[in-house]
Amino acid sequence: MELLRLHVVINGRVQGVSFRYHTKLKADDLQITGWVLNRRDGAVETLAEGTENQLAVFQKYLWQVPPLARVDTIESLSNAPATGEFSGFNIRYYTRPM
């Protein structure tokens, strides 16, 4: 079974509303690996690896947000073969510049 990589940016009201937490829960449920990150521009970025079916379900879920969130757009950065570099799905944190 071929594993693929999905890399997307989610725009809307997606920070401060538990979006990353719910994304991780769904990824863990689907047994997808990768990460999710709040970006400095207010968007959320996620990179996920799994089967075509797993990633289709995951991408559809990204539109079904927590109650306080709102997704306006999902921008695809890439679809490619998986690299297998992840052992799980993690919430990543950026470091603010000083």
In this structure, is residue 93 part of a structural domain? no
Does any domain span residue 95?
Answer: no
Confidence of residue 97 (pLDDT cuts 50, 70, 90): low
Question: Which of 5, 11, 20, 53 is flagged as catalytic?
Answer: 20
Round to whole Å and give the CA distance between 27 and 6: 12
* Structural domain contains residue 89: no
Instruction: Note down the domain range covering 26.
Output: 4-82
> Per the domain annotation, does 65 fall within a domain?
yes
- Specify the pLDDT at position 95: 62
Q: What is the number of domains present in the chain?
A: 1
- 11 falls within a domain: yes
The CATH number covering residue 70 comes to 3.30.70.100
Q: What is the pLDDT of residues 19-71, one digit of tens each?
A: 999 999 999 999 999 999 999 999 999 999 999 999 999 999 999 978 899 99
How far are the Cα atoms of 8, 16, 34, 45 from residue 74, in angstroms, in the given order? 7, 18, 17, 9
- 40 in active site: no
The pLDDT tens digits for 16-33 are: 999 999 999 999 999 999
In a domain, 90, yes or no: no
Q: Report the distance separating Cα 29 and Cα 76, nearest Å.
A: 22
Catalytic hit among 5, 11, 13, 38: 38
- pTM of the predicted model, to two decimals? 0.91
The pLDDT, as a whole number, for residue 96 is 58
Whether residue 11 lies in the annotated active site: no
